[in-house]
Structures are given as structure tokens and as C-alpha cells.
Structure 1
């Protein structure tokens, strides 16, 4: 398996953080479930960002 590039890891962390923003609105979960999911997803986002920083620097966007 090839290694993931930092950009992919940052995108994954961004997607997780986006889900965090909507988790408090999920009517299928009670308060404890939301709290547990929030903590787990927060830790996942942090882990992804740390992994991305460890693999390499952020990719700079080129202006066209």
C-alpha cells in the first residue's frame, strides 16, 4: 500500500470536522451518544492532522 499524501489527510480531517458541525443536530442520537461521537471524531481529526504534518508539509495552491 502506498502512503497517503498530506493533502489527502488534511482533506479527510476537514471532512471529519464538517461532520462534527452537524452532529449536534442529529435527532437520532441522545446527548451521551452525541458527546461520545463528538469526542471520537475530534480525536480522529486531530490524529489525521498530526499524521499529515508528520508525512510532509501542506501542499500550496498555485494561482492560475
Structure 2
């Protein structure tokens, strides 16, 4: 997670596996990820916010598939 390293000097975090799984399931740009990370100064809070953002995108995507 290069962006996390750039913003918070964090090389590993408990949320990385979940974030990587979500990133594989939804389309998101590096700019969107960057924006989510820059909203908070605390790495834990920023990464949790990113997880929530990605989960929201996943739910939205699932809702579109369920509606078809």
C-alpha cells in the first residue's frame, strides 16, 4: 500500500488484507484512495475510513447487480 506509506510511513497494518480484497472487487482510482487517506491525520482512522468507502462502493455495485 504505497499511498499509505507515503502519507503515514506505515508499511503494514491489520486492515491491509481487507483493503486489498476490497480493491480487487471494486473499481476505484488512485486519486479516490488518496483523497480518502488524506482526510485524516491518524493512519488507523484514515484506513478505517477507506475500508468504509470501499465497502460502500461494493454495496452500491451489488445493488446494481441485484436490480438487473
The TM-score normalised by the length of structure 1 is 0.49
* Greater relative contact order (Cα < 8 A, sep 6+): 1
Report the structure, 1 or 2, having the larger helix content: 2
